Structure 1
Amino acid sequence: MLCGWQLWEWPHVMVEAEFHAIWLSPDGQMVDVTPKLHHETKVLFVSDPRRRYTGATVDNVRLPVRDDQLIRHFIGVSEAITHVLSRGVPTADGHVSVPANEIEPLQQAQQFLGHALLTGLRDHQPCLCGGGRKYKRCHGPELERAFAL
């Protein structure tokens, strides 16, 4: 097993690195045996000899590609979700059990922010909720208060 980081870019939003492991064959070929969610055939993998798999959750590293409150909020909510899930109890089917009142608001916020970013919304444009105010004056402060972003 060779540990490192699987990297990808969400264009105009962020670059993300996920702690990942691949199989190093006896002839030195790197083989990724993990099924890909979107059926990618190639991924960028960077080995990190300082890292070892210990069974503990390792949060992704997310770096925004521009200064925008929406992106910072998406990253903050994503980190909060990982934190809640890391405190959860593993179930027999491979999922993690956490209190719904802790995870559901975070997932809803992540879904709202992800949709806003997919549509190309910027923090200085009208919010997707339809209230007429800019995101940074509408849902931006609300999310900061709710999730301490």
Structure 2
Amino acid sequence: MPAISTELFKKSYTTTPKALNSAIIDFCREVSPGVKPRYLPVRPDPISQPSECFNNVMARVSKEGGNLVYGWLVWEWPNVFIEAEHHAVWESNGVLVDITPHVNGENEILFLPDPKSTYDFVGQKRRINIKRSHGRFASVSPWIAATDVLQETIERRSTGNTFTIDRDELAALARNVQNSLGAVFVDIARHTRPNDRCFCLSGRKFKKCCSNLVQL
């Protein structure tokens, strides 16, 4: 039975796609047909909070004018999956800027406009992330399914910051996501050679990075 270090679950694996390859373009067409994704600079507003893009942009619009533009942040775990996260950016005089800070300190994001993906400011209902496997690892699809169930359940059972979900049910769903992600780590590790670049995006060789965290 493979042993997986808890350190693997603490890392962030998604990043701004480096290029608009065919997989990214096809994914964007599926999410928001007829609209092209754009690389935008990240210039956080001093009062903006991470993960609060809609409120951040509305505060800027109230203060300085301009417009809130709905859409999706496009992230990628290279060779593993592509993800679209419901998002909003600020538009002023035709220029789009992401004013929300991100956990990993990205200074550039790939943004896919989508005027239909509005946000419910009253109920504070978020649209769940859209994920698509790159198709290289069989374990990725079950993990995506588990994350979808967790996110859908949270949004369905919550209004704003108030949750009505049973604690044990939530814990069970979270365990399923973690177990599914563990299977992804094992799957990737089995297909990664010692001298390949590590799947955690550190830039180091696998044998000198995460290989010790997945004991096959």
- Tell me the TM-score normalised to structure 2 length: 0.50
SS at match of 1:37: coil
Counterpart residue number, 2:178: 111
Gaps of 5+ in 1: 123-129, 133-149
Match of 2:75 among 1, 5, 8: 8
Provide the secondary structure at the position in 1 that maps to 2:89.
Answer: strand
| Shift of residue 35, structure 1, vs aligned partner | 2.2
Structure 2 counterpart of 1:34: 100
Task: Number of aligned residue pairs: give it.
Answer: 124
* Deviation (angstroms), 1:97: 4.8
SS at match of 1:43: strand
Tell me if 1:21 matches 2:108.
Answer: no
One-letter amino acid of the structure 2 residue matched with residue 18 of structure 1: E
Residues 32 and 95 (structure 1), Cα distance of their counterparts in 2 relative to 1, 3 Å cut: farther
- TM-score, normalising length: structure 1: 0.69
When the two chains are superposed, the root-mean-square deviation of aligned CA atoms in Å is 2.8
Contact map agreement 1:6 1:44 (CA 8 A) in 2: yes
- For residues 177 and 168 of structure 2, the distance between their equivalents in structure 1, rounded to whole angstroms, comes to 15
What is the identity percentage for the equivalent residue pairs of Structure 1 and Structure 2? 27
**Structure 2 segments unaligned to the other structure (5+ residues):** 1-67, 191-214
**Aligned counterpart in structure 2 of residue 43 of structure 1, from 92, 106, 109:** 109
Counterparts in 2 of 1:1-149, with a 5 A limit? 1-25=68-92, 27-54=93-120, 55-66=124-135, 68-90=137-159, 94=161, 96-119=163-186, 120-121=188-189
User: Aligned with 1:81: secondary structure?
Assistant: helix
Query: How far off its partner does 1:108 sit?
Result: 1.5
Deviation >3 Å, runs of 4+: 94-97
